Structure 1
Amino acid sequence: MSVHRFRKFTLSMAMLLFPVTIWYFSPYLIFMAAMEHIINGSFITFTLMFILGMFFGRLWCGFFCPTGGMSECFESFSPKNPKQGFRNYLKYGIWFIWISGIIVCHIFGKGDYSIQPFFMTDHGISISNIYSYIIYYGIIILFLIPAIIHGKRANCHYICWMAPFMILGYRFGKFLHLPQIKIKTKKENCISCRQCEKSCPMSINISEEISKGEIKTAECILCGECISSCKNKVLDCRITNK
């Protein structure tokens, strides 16, 4: 199985399992748990995203994210490339305000600390009643609207509350000189066909990144689509601490 097909398979499975796993990515449930000094499933998930991000960057986004799978399905509605620039920093503002709120909840919360991965889930399944589906479909709409208006994976660029964990983890891992997965480039092999940019689900200007020796933008999700589409072996995925 090629990397492309494997990636589509894992994203599809993650999307289909979203009704089961949605609370483990919940930006709201973590507030409720914090008020009771509970380390819940989403707290554990976001912590793991930061830790694994030190080595794998945003690989999660490219292969295993359920909302990423939705975003790529929504491309058929609006395949255009979203505008890059200041909008890409919106997610950091959202993340900062959200994290600040969680810290405040922990400060003013009550009770002894405990670890409950299945906090407010029925047998570990997120969507276990009819009312929960209202939230589930609300999130689908939340991700569908930006995709229709702005284009491919607009949610990942602009509003995703999970991406900063991996981005900050990756930068911290780089600071510690940990071995990391990176996409390296060979400028001399590039013929500027831009096939890599056409295949990139994150609409990255890869031609610009090639001159840097590696794809350095925080928007790269290490999906490998650019590598698969390049016939001149300009791009290569490596594990390095440089």
Structure 2
Amino acid sequence: MRQKVRKCLLLISFLLFPITIWYFSPYLIINAAMEHIINGSFIVFCLMLVLSMFFGRAWCGYFCPAGGLQECAMRVNDNPAKQKNRDKIKYVIWTVWIIAVISSFICGKNDVRINPFYMTDHGISVSGITNYVVYYAVIMLLVIPSIIHGRRAACHYICWMAPFMVIGSTVGRWLHLPQLHVEAETENCVKCGLCNKACSMGLDVREMVQANSISKNTECIQCGACVDGCPKKALKYKWTWKR
């Protein structure tokens, strides 16, 4: 039941993407920074950073429109995406982008002001034909890697939002804040591999269960698919950390 609700939320989020896309834009935040404007995407990225201290990457698992699109793409390619060094690409992208944002703000003009609806039409992102060109270009950018490489490949390789939540969840863990995460009870595991088949990120959950390291994996999006798919209840959601 939980996974049906989760997938329904992701689908709704994706259907609303034409309205919300500018609030996740890595470009508009740079454009706004040049004018010393704190825009909608700046606010959203800050919220992701702060909330991930308590919820990890649950945004990715339950509400991200790009995640909803990529889970639809699993019907075409359900193979796990290759990871290891490829996962680091997004951190290179993020670092260059953040430097660009900071540089734009430093070089910007005018007094600092807040405009959450910057470059939107009464809060709606895609309101004209030209905007749809950008919208569908973003859709292609997100869906093509998943079709070619497998489960949520864009999340693994190019997502500019994921590092905010990785940083936030890591800080939350260091501070021992209550944080939603998955923990394993290794003694209950029978190595059936159903958790691997269920994982929407294509992670090797079985190996992490044996190593008791799943709660520290930065690619886990707390979707709970492995929790719900485990017949022996070897995986559980937790809020507090083991001492």
Length-normalised TM-score, structure 2: 0.97
Asked if residue 122 in structure 1 is aligned to residue 128 in structure 2, the reply is no
Conserved? CA contact 1:182–1:214, under 8 Å = no
Equivalent position of 2:166 in the other structure = 167
Distance in 2 separating the partners of 1:134 and 1:23: 13
Distance in 1 separating the partners of 2:119 and 2:173: 36
Distance in 2 separating the partners of 1:97 and 1:149: 25
Distance in 1 separating the partners of 2:80 and 2:54: 28
Q: What's the offset of the Cα at 1:212?
A: 3.5
Equivalent position of 2:69 in the other structure = 70
Equivalent position of 1:183 in the other structure = 182
Asked if residue 133 in structure 1 is aligned to residue 132 in structure 2, the reply is yes
Letter in 2 for 1:149: I
Q: Deviations over 1:166-223 (max 9, x none)?
A: 0000011112221111111111111110001001010111111113435121110000
- What fraction of aligned residue pairs are identical, expressed as a percent? 53
Distance in 1 separating the partners of 2:160 and 2:67: 12
Equivalent position of 1:100 in the other structure = 99
Letter in 1 for 2:234: V
Distance in 1 separating the partners of 2:148 and 2:232: 34
Conserved? CA contact 1:40–1:116, under 8 Å = yes
Conserved? CA contact 1:50–1:166, under 8 Å = yes
Letter in 2 for 1:239: W
Conserved? CA contact 1:91–1:159, under 8 Å = yes
Q: Deviations over 1:100-151 (max 9, x none)?
A: 0000000000000001000011110000111100000000111121112111
5+ unaligned residues in a row in structure 1: which ranges? Answer: none
Conserved? CA contact 1:183–1:214, under 8 Å = no
Distance in 1 separating the partners of 2:240 and 2:185: 16
Conserved? CA contact 1:54–1:169, under 8 Å = yes
Letter in 1 for 2:163: P
Distance in 2 separating the partners of 1:132 and 1:234: 47
Distance 1:187 1:241, change over 3 A: closer
Equivalent position of 1:224 in the other structure = 224
Equivalent position of 1:81 in the other structure = 80
Equivalent position of 1:145 in the other structure = 144
Give RMSD over aligned pairs.
Answer: 0.9
Equivalent position of 2:203 in the other structure = 204
Distance in 1 separating the partners of 2:15 and 2:125: 13
Asked if residue 31 in structure 1 is aligned to residue 56 in structure 2, the reply is no
Equivalent position of 1:90 in the other structure = 89
Equivalent position of 2:155 in the other structure = 156
The farther-off stretch of 41-50 and 172-181 is 172-181
Q: How many residues align?
A: 241
Superposed structure 1 runs of 4+ greater than 3 Å apart: none
Distance in 2 separating the partners of 1:171 and 1:212: 19
Where 1:97 maps in the other structure, the secondary structure is helix
The farther-off stretch of 90-99 and 204-213 is 204-213
Q: What's the offset of the Cα at 1:241?
A: 3.9
Q: Deviations over 1:59-78 (max 9, x none)?
A: 00000000000000011121
